[in-house]
Amino acid sequence: MNFFLNIFKFLPPEFAHSISLNSLNFLYKLKLLSLFKIKKNDEVEFNLCGMKFKNKLGTAAGLDKNGDYIDALGELGFGFLEVGTVTPLPQSGNSKPRVFRNYQDNAIINRLGFNNKGIDYLLKNLKKRKYKGVVGVNIGANKTSKDDQRINDYLVCFEKIHKYADYITINISSPNTPDLRDLHNKENLKNLISSVESKSIEINYKKPIFLKISPDESDDSIKMIIELVENSSLTGLVATNTTVNKNSVTNEKLRNEEGGLSGQPLMEKSTNKISFIRSNTLDMPIIGVGGVMSKKDFHTKIEVGANLVQIYTGFIIKGPKLINQIIRD
């Protein structure tokens, strides 16, 4: 596996991403993924929000945007998967190059812009999945949608996907869709939450709803978000998305690239946000994500208050062995 990871370093990032995941699918179909699967869990099955998990480690949204790799990723031993971000209409995302790997910092900068094949394509993949674990769906808005149309985009995705998702995450925190983070504003967020609640009642949706937030919000903003979520029918928070602050990036050229920073430089910032959220709410479910590159990082997220933990950049850089390192005894 290390041999292939070293080869992927020399390939364009998005091509390497596609090749690696398609290779996983190929191995899955040949029933060879058991070679990489964990041998023993140090977690016992547990329930959260009515969902049963075999362990607390999952994939973050963005790894499998269209649900093409659900069965293969599930076979690797993840306790849950989150697919997306998906939008109502297919869109190509921002212009290339738009993904920049920084192995020196164990980091990735991306400005993908919700590139995906649309909600109908993802829905077909969810319907045919064989993986029996928890699968959440991360929903967003098309780049061309503004104001009320943007909120309607979330509702379209919500209604189409609700029967086939074990939980739904509302993504208001990508830095790569213009003005999307304006939904962190109190009045905008109240409007979005109210609209989602009305849609939930209309379609009789009873499963969990999470809100994915930015690590770049102030403490006062986070407190406001907590209050709005606690006073709504939403379930909890996914903390956090990528950061636009790249001061910790050692490569000066990459430091000046636009986009969101993920990986090891995000670990402390995202963990601090999780800790702050937990200090302000004892019971709210939190899915922690951002910078997990080791078993120690995973447990740090849990210790400060995350109920579940997701990985993305760590998985890209270190491969399936990271799953083994985190979950096994």
pLDDT at position 45 is: 85
Taking the model in full, what pTM does it have?
Answer: 0.95
CA distance 7 to 16: 9
Strands 57-59 and 308-311: parallel
> Residue ranges per domain, the chain?
2-327
The DSSP H or E segment spanning 130 is none
pLDDT at position 31 is: 87
- The topology (CATH level 3) of 2-327 is TIM Barrel (3.20.20)
Choose the catalytic residue: 20, 145, 174, 275: 174
CB 262 within 8 A of CB 110: yes
The DSSP H or E segment spanning 119 is helix 119-128
CA 2 to chain centre: 25
pLDDT at position 307 is: 98
End-to-end CA, the chain: 21
Q: Can you give the three-state secondary structure of 236-256, one letter per residue? A: EEEECCCECCCCCCCCHHHHC
Instruction: Give bridge partners of residue 91 from the DSSP assignment.
Output: 116
198 is catalytic: no
Torsion-angle region of 217 (φ positive above 0: left; ψ -120 to 50: alpha; else: beta): beta
Residue ranges in the chain modelled with pLDDT below 50 = none
pLDDT at position 13 is: 85
Backbone angles phi, psi at 314, to 5 degrees: -60, -40
What six digits make up the tokens of 325? 């390192």
